[in-house]
């Protein structure tokens, strides 16, 4: 009884192993539990997150908060203290469409600041500290439609800053320090979607009037130039007056705010020259008042457009602007369908319908001195078929012949309106075979001619006004004497005045 069973240590060992195994299983189960469902998208502590909106405004942020939820399509970082944007910082929000970074302290942008933001359509960087707009700032934003850059410190805009933004519709650059602007950057680049270009309240001292006149009409309608110290000139005044007459919003909406500087040496010599236009009464018609010269042509013809100029040929080059806003210089376009000669003439090798439109001829005697020479309105149409003229003449001739035939039919073949008159007379009866048609002239038509015979109700009048004579109280009708052409005299049977008068006319005499 005092001895231990040999199986006791073995049982204890198995019991401890079972407990250890159970503990390991519990630990494994607890370790997999957090991985059972993905962690929720975390919202930065200083921001407010909704389904697709991330708002981090007015938080005095010096750096972009992290992490950014990938579902956001609108990100608001305005009214903070951001000074720079790192490369690729938008990779976490691939579906971003609107970005607001206004009222910060951003001075410049790195080349990859907007990398991975190809869906961005609205960008607001107003009220920052930007000094220039470089080419690489926005060249990756291929879907951008609205760009707000007003109230910065911008003094320069690179000529290719908007070259790759084909869908750009609105650009706001007002309240900056611009002294010049590359208007060629929005001309000839296929950027015809641009509707608003706000350059108001800057420091523009001169405006290339000829370059502005060559811009598409949709850009001129939304080109805002008011509140700039532009040097007063007749071309500027005439151009804006022309815009006013055409109802352009850029002049109509801010008519009283268009100013110009009378003297460069007197900073305060600004006048509202559109409102007080009496100072420019002596200005002659400018290039905007040139009316296009009509130039009709047919498909397949070779056209030569020429403009007269008094500029010296040695120092002058020429450029034509096509209806599709394509600038053409000597020698011509790439496929030579349009050629510009050294004397300024434009040749259209083979006229097509798409060549129709207004062509503007310009003379250039220095890199920035443009002079408009003329406008030619080309209308290309297909020639009329050769048989068309013959067909028209033949139709007219046939119409005349048909009209003549109808007149002849009306005159000689008029249909009888009285059906009973047009019927053929019945053959005479044996008793009246010597009689013909009778004309019954009666003052009072009798009901009968005898006791058993009725008189025909028809009244056949042979002569409209037969001549009546009175003889022995009788009435007779004069036929033989009054109508000498009658070959056979008629025998008249005359009754008393109280009776009816019947005159029978026949080719053979009737004996009563």
The answer as to whether 137 is a domain residue is no
Residues 437 and 374 reside in one and the same domain: no
Is the pLDDT reported for residue 137 higher than 70? yes
Is the pLDDT reported for residue 453 higher than 70? no
The string of pLDDT tens digits covering residues 289-342 is 556 778 898 898 898 888 765 555 566 778 888 888 788 888 888 888 899 888
The answer as to whether 280 is a domain residue is no
The string of pLDDT tens digits covering residues 339-386 is 988 888 889 999 999 889 888 887 776 554 555 567 888 999 888 665
- Check: CB of residue 219 under 8 Å from CB of residue 186: yes
Is the pLDDT reported for residue 476 higher than 50? no
For residue 217, say if its preceding peptide bond is cis, omega within 30 degrees of 0.
Answer: no
Residues 308 and 372 reside in one and the same domain: yes
Among the three residues 346, 381, 416, which one is the final residue of a domain in this structure? 381
The answer as to whether 96 is a domain residue is no
Residues 310 and 377 reside in one and the same domain: yes
Task: Annotate 56-70 with three-state secondary structure.
Answer: CCCCCCCCCCCCCCC
Distant-in-sequence contacts of 57-62, Cβ < 8 A, 24+ apart: 57/100
The answer as to whether 372 is a domain residue is yes
Number of domains in the chain: 2
Task: Annotate 105-134 with three-state secondary structure.
Answer: CCCCCCCCCCCCCCCCCEEECCCCCCCEEC
Complete edge-to-edge strand list for the sheet that includes strand 48-49: 48-49, 53-55, 74-76, 98-100, 122-124, 146-148, 170-172, 196-198, 223-224
The answer as to whether 275 is a domain residue is no
Is the pLDDT reported for residue 53 higher than 80? yes
The answer as to whether 459 is a domain residue is yes
The string of pLDDT tens digits covering residues 394-443 is 788 888 899 988 888 888 776 665 656 555 555 555 454 444 344 434 44
Residues 373 and 300 reside in one and the same domain: yes
Whole-number Å distance between alpha carbons of 258 and 342: 39
Tell me the pLDDT band of 164, cut-offs 50, 70 and 90: confident
Residue 297, strand partner residues:
380
Chain-centroid distance, C-alpha 106 = 42
| Structure confidence at residue 292 (pLDDT) | 74
- Check: CB of residue 138 under 8 Å from CB of residue 122: no
Residue with tokens 């305060």: 268
DSSP secondary structure code for residue 52 in this structure: S
Whole-number Å distance between alpha carbons of 379 and 261: 42
Residues 377 and 304 reside in one and the same domain: yes
Which residues form the domain of 298? 290-381
Is the pLDDT reported for residue 156 higher than 90? yes
Residues 446 and 509 reside in one and the same domain: yes
Residues 370 and 434 reside in one and the same domain: no
Average pLDDT, the chain: 76
Grouping H, G, I as helix, E, B as strand and the rest as coil, residue 297 is strand
The answer as to whether 304 is a domain residue is yes
What is the domain-level CATH number for residue 350? 2.60.40.10
The string of pLDDT tens digits covering residues 176-223 is 999 999 988 786 554 568 899 999 999 999 999 988 887 888 888 999
Whole-number Å distance between alpha carbons of 440 and 456: 9
Residues 369 and 433 reside in one and the same domain: no
Residues 432 and 372 reside in one and the same domain: no
| Structure confidence at residue 488 (pLDDT) | 45
Residues 377 and 440 reside in one and the same domain: no
The answer as to whether 294 is a domain residue is yes
């Amino acid at each position: 009884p005092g001895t231990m069973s040999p199986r006791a240590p073995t049982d204890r060992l198995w019991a401890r192993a079972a407990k250890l195994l159970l503990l390991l299983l519990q630990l494994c189960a607890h370790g997999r539990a957090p991985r059972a469902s993905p962690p929720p998208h975390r919202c930065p502590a200083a921001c407010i997150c909704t389904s697709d909106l991330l708002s981090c405004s007015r938080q005095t942020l010096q750096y972009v908060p992290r992490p950014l939820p990938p579902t956001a399509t609108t990100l608001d970082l305005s009214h903070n203290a951001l000074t720079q944007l790192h490369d690729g910082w938008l990779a976490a929000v691939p579906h971003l469409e609107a970005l607001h970074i206004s009222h910060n302290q951003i001075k410049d942008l790195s080349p990859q600041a907007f990398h991975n933001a190809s869906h961005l359509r609205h960008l607001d960087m107003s009220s920052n500290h930007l000094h220039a707009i470089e080419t690489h700032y926005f060249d990756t934003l291929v879907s951008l439609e609205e760009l707000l850059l007003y109230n910065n410190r911008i003094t320069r805009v690179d000529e290719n800053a908007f070259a790759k933004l084909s869908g750009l519709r609105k650009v706001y650059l007002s309240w900056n320090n611009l002294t010049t602007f590359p208007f060629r950057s929005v001309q000839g680049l296929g950027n015809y979607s641009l509707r608003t270009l706000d350059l108001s309240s800057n420091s523009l001292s001169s405006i290339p009037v000829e370059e502005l006149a060559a811009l598409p009409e949709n850009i001129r309608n939304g080109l805002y130039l008011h509140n700039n110290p532009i040097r007063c000139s007749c071309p500027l005044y005439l151009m804006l007056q022309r815009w006013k007459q055409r109802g352009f919003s850029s002049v109509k909406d801010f008519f009283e705010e268009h100013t110009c500087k009378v003297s460069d040496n007197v900073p305060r010599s600004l006048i509202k020259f559109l409102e007080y236009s009496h100072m420019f009464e002596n200005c002659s018609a400018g290039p905007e008042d040139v009316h296009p010269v009509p130039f009709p042509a047919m498909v397949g013809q070779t056209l030569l457009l020429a403009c007269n100029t008094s500029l010296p040929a040695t120092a002058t080059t020429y450029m034509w602007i096509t209806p599709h806003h394509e600038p053409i210089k000597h020698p011509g376009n790439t496929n030579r369908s349009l050629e510009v000669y050294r004397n300024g003439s434009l040749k259209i090798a083979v006229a097509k319908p798409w060549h129709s439109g207004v062509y503007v001829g310009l003379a250039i005697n220095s890199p920035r001195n443009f002079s408009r020479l003329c406008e030619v309105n080309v209308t290309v149409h297909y020639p009329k078929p050769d048989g068309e003229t013959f067909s028209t003449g033949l139709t007219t001739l046939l119409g005349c012949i048909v009209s003549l035939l109808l007149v002849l039919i009306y005159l000689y073949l008029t249909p009888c309106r009285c059906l009973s008159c047009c019927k053929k007379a019945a053959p005479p009866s044996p008793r009246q075979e010597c009689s013909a048609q009778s004309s019954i002239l009666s003052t009072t038509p009798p009901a009968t001619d005898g006791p058993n015979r009725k008189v025909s109700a028809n009244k056949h009048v042979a002569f409209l006004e037969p001549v009546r004579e009175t003889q022995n109280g009788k009435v007779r009708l004069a036929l033989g004497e009054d109508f000498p052409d009658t070959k056979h005299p008629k025998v008249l049977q005359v009754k008393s005045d109280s009776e009816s008068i019947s005159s029978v006319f026949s080719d053979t005499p009737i004996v009563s």
